[in-house]
Structure 1
Amino acid sequence: MPMPPNDRRAFRAAVAMLGAAGLIALAAAPAAYADDPAPELVVGGIEPIGGVKPGSTFDLPVTVASKGTAVAEKVWVTYSVTRGLGFAEVPSNCWTQQVRPYDEMPERWTVACGFDQAVEPGVVYTPETPLRVNALDRAFHDELRLRVGADEPGVDDNGTPPVAGTAPAVKLVETQHGGMGAAQVVDVPVTSVNTADYQVTGAALKGSIGETVPMKVEFTNAGPAWVMTKVGVPSVRVMIMPPAGTSVVKTPGFCKAKGKAYDCGTSERALYEGGRETYNFKLKIDKRVAHAKGSVALSTEARPFDPDKTNDKAAITLDVTGGDPTGSTGSSTNGAGSSGSSGSSTSGSGGSAGGPSSTGGDATTTTNGGTLADTGSSALPITGVAAAAVVTGTGLFVIVRRRRAQRLTNQW
């Protein structure tokens, strides 16, 4: 049945009024939502922890609070410790994940605990049973990171699959201790009483003049502690001096020339117990140098955790095999062998390059490699030839002058 014109106008007006009311409601909804503040959760209750002995345990008296005016219906507290520490017992309302090192971050363990209860604003809470931490044999300079949030934290893609805890679940209870924290994330240093033995290993090189040989030296943290250097703080340096008579034709990464030596760093700021850095050079043996010896040594900054300094330096020896080819230093004289030092020398005492020996009967090397005897026996034939040349030249000069004078006379 067709609708009368007046009724159609009334219907359109009603629809317009309903649409306007809907738009007003939609516009008001975000404003109403924005007026509902989110809980401002903070974590605290822990001061820096020191004097920990490897093999011992300690508790984490964490506090949780909402600084704002909103109630948090559920909270999650995340504990993350570096690899010198571990967790003794994990409640069933928590899960654990091991995270491998990446992006300058060392290996660590993470525990995330969910508390399905309200956290009232201005009230300080703490887990009824604090989470307990183990200090492992490698513990030294470690770090604890605490985080609180209203949503469950995601797992780390670089970690193992999360595992649920097996100890009895815990809940939050009000507390008058520890005080209200000031941040959502807090880093707490944990220092253990431990040592780490830094040491270096040298090399024994062997080859002939002109040969290129490999040189491998190592730096090792023999433990028992692992050492994590803080961001921005220089780590230990390894100073490498190649033996004299060689030249470096290939340098490894993390090394740069510093005069005749090489200053080498480490690939990671965390030095694991038993971990090592290997530096592979290639050296060309240029000449034979007597008793040539290089070295590898640790930098000399203070390291109180490393009391054994006897293995902080090691030798790099060089054994040059075979005879000296042409152009090498240390020329031999009278078949006596190499002089063993740069520049020429005599087989007797007091000789010097390019000059006669001060001892009778001994030969000395000249700048062109010939030999002269001090007795004069080998010099006499040379003197006679020179004298004959002088006499012959004088006779020729006289004959030329006489012939020239005779031509002039005939011309006149």
Structure 2
Amino acid sequence: MFQTSSRLRVLGRAVGTIGALSLAALGATPAAPAASAASASADDPSAGVVLGRTAPVDGVEPGGTVQVPTSFTNTGTEALRKVWLTYTLSHGLAHPDRAELPSNCTYSTIAVGDGEPDRTEVICEFDQAVRPGVVYAPGKQLAFPVRGSALYEVVAVKAEIAGYPYPGDNFTPEVPGTAPAVELAERPDATPAPAGSAENSRWDVADVPVTAVNTADFRVTGARLRGGVGDTVPLTVGFTDAGPGWVQRRDRADAVRIVLRMPSGTTVTRADPYCRRTGSGKYLCGVDFPWVEEGYERSYTFRLRIDKAVPGAQGSIGLTGASRPFDTDTGNDEAGIRLDVTGAAGSSGGSTASSGAGTALPLVGAAAAAFALGAGAVLVVRRRMNGR
């Protein structure tokens, strides 16, 4: 966990990460900037900068690049001598190679903490006069590589006039580009923001959603248990994001919810801490955070007491909650929890591992009714499991 000041700086600099709240909602403010390089005071109400509107970018391909057209207006009354543009990239986007990055730009990595995937920040410094009432844009827009894990991404763009936005302790050292420097160019064809319209005299931020053509395969693993009446047996079932995409929803819904129904004739004597009971033998489970990275795995462990033999007893595990349009393979969204009671008439017998880590079984009969559950909040435990 980072110190509060560092955390607020990240929030101030990286507003717009998918699922994150705005600065206003968090009650946070950016760390105090360095001395102003503008000809007007940063606290002067006559100073200000306003970003132009940028439409969401859809249909980008993993392995390709994405450009986020950026422009701004000096809404103050005096010319500025310097402007900085900062691009904070979510997990599925990367900084350009040094050979492609202009020499007046740098990149670094943000270690956000709390288990959230690292992000990338690119800062470009423009040391030139910026006239009031005129729209400016970089003469060449940056192209950001799209990683194989990209799905629902965001580029948080920030224009700043109050001084260089130095990284905090949770940033890696800045690396400058080696390509020719890029300059700002006037855009006479664009409509400038009205004078005095800046909400903040020092900076402005805007989120640009970027959607990649990609999928993420959410899957569950069931179990097969074996024991006699009166025995207490362990149960382990699991969830995996098999990728290739990572998922953090723009609707801020939980990354995934999982519903479990225990086999008839059993009693849960110990439940997984990420699960809560919603009915007789029924549990709703979540994951560590409101996002899941590609390759993420989570096991749920219970202990079940076998109270009586019920022929064909079978429970279930399945995905529930918000829709998953990114998951096109729905055949592994449900699996069974099979219980064989030894010594009972009709038992199939045979041999398994009692931990039940293995085969996914299809749902049958009333097991599908478990998927009507989903009300209430998932217990959130702020820690990683399985070494993640």
TM over 0.5: yes
State the match for 2:221 in structure 1.
201
Change in Cα spacing, 1:39 to 1:104, as seen in structure 2 (3 Å) is farther
Is the partner of 2:268 in helix, strand or coil? strand
The separation in 1 between residues aligned to 2:285 and 2:43, in whole angstroms, is 58
State the match for 2:286 in structure 1.
265
Preserved CA contact (<8 Å) 1:44 1:178: no
Larger radius of gyration: 1
Is the partner of 2:132 in helix, strand or coil? coil
Match of 1:108 among 95, 119, 139: 119
Number of corresponding residues:
295
The CA deviation string for residues 120-164 of structure 1, in whole angstroms up to 9 with x for no partner, is 111111111111112222211111100011211131433322222
The CA deviation string for residues 218-261 of structure 1, in whole angstroms up to 9 with x for no partner, is 11111111111136434431111112222112222331111131
Preserved CA contact (<8 Å) 1:37 1:69: no
Cα shift at 1:179 = 4.0
Preserved CA contact (<8 Å) 2:253 2:322: no
Q: Quick one: which amino acid aligns to residue 224 of structure 2? A: A
Match of 1:298 among 309, 313, 319: 319
| 2:268 pairs with 1:248 | yes
The separation in 2 between residues aligned to 1:261 and 1:157, in whole angstroms, is 45
Change in Cα spacing, 1:36 to 1:247, as seen in structure 2 (3 Å) is closer
Preserved CA contact (<8 Å) 1:43 1:180: no
State the match for 1:46 in structure 2.
54
| 2:259 pairs with 1:239 | yes
Unaligned runs of 5+ in 2: 1-39, 348-388
| 2:304 pairs with 1:283 | yes
Match of 2:138 among 102, 124, 127: 127
Is the partner of 2:339 in helix, strand or coil? strand
The separation in 1 between residues aligned to 2:166 and 2:144, in whole angstroms, is 22
The CA deviation string for residues 160-198 of structure 1, in whole angstroms up to 9 with x for no partner, is 222222222212121234544666100111111211111
Change in Cα spacing, 1:207 to 1:33, as seen in structure 2 (3 Å) is closer
Preserved CA contact (<8 Å) 1:40 1:70: no
The separation in 1 between residues aligned to 2:43 and 2:60, in whole angstroms, is 48
The separation in 2 between residues aligned to 1:209 and 1:59, in whole angstroms, is 63
Is the partner of 1:62 in helix, strand or coil? coil
Identity of aligned residues (%): 44
Preserved CA contact (<8 Å) 2:75 2:133: yes
State the match for 2:83 in structure 1.
75
Preserved CA contact (<8 Å) 1:79 1:144: yes
The CA deviation string for residues 301-343 of structure 1, in whole angstroms up to 9 with x for no partner, is 432221211111111122334x5xxxxxxxxxxxxxx4569xx
The separation in 2 between residues aligned to 1:60 and 1:48, in whole angstroms, is 9
Is the partner of 1:253 in helix, strand or coil? coil
State the match for 2:171 in structure 1.
159
Is the partner of 1:228 in helix, strand or coil? coil
Change in Cα spacing, 1:276 to 1:179, as seen in structure 2 (3 Å) is farther
Cα shift at 1:105 = 5.2
Change in Cα spacing, 1:201 to 1:177, as seen in structure 2 (3 Å) is farther
Change in Cα spacing, 1:33 to 1:176, as seen in structure 2 (3 Å) is closer
Change in Cα spacing, 1:285 to 1:161, as seen in structure 2 (3 Å) is farther
Preserved CA contact (<8 Å) 2:223 2:235: yes
Is the partner of 1:248 in helix, strand or coil? strand
Is the partner of 1:258 in helix, strand or coil? strand
The separation in 2 between residues aligned to 1:54 and 1:35, in whole angstroms, is 42
Change in Cα spacing, 1:156 to 1:277, as seen in structure 2 (3 Å) is farther
Preserved CA contact (<8 Å) 2:65 2:146: yes
The separation in 2 between residues aligned to 1:267 and 1:81, in whole angstroms, is 22
Cα shift at 1:204 = 2.2
Q: Quick one: which amino acid aligns to residue 75 of structure 1? A: V
State the match for 1:138 in structure 2.
149
State the match for 2:337 in structure 1.
316
Q: What is the TM-score normalised by the length of structure 1?
A: 0.66
| 2:274 pairs with 1:228 | no
Cα shift at 1:44 = 2.3
The separation in 1 between residues aligned to 2:311 and 2:251, in whole angstroms, is 45
Q: Quick one: which amino acid aligns to residue 83 of structure 1? A: H
Q: How does 1:376-387 map to 2 (within 5 A)?
A: none
State the match for 1:192 in structure 2.
212
Preserved CA contact (<8 Å) 1:63 1:180: no
Preserved CA contact (<8 Å) 2:134 2:188: no
Which stretch of the first structure deviates more once superposed, 177-186 or 144-153?
177-186
The separation in 1 between residues aligned to 2:229 and 2:168, in whole angstroms, is 55
Preserved CA contact (<8 Å) 2:41 2:47: no
Match of 2:109 among 98, 102, 106: 98
Moved segments of 4+, more than 4 Å: 32-38, 103-106, 338-341
The separation in 2 between residues aligned to 1:270 and 1:33, in whole angstroms, is 41
Cα shift at 1:110 = 0.6
Preserved CA contact (<8 Å) 2:316 2:337: yes
State the match for 1:362 in structure 2.
none
Is the partner of 2:250 in helix, strand or coil? coil
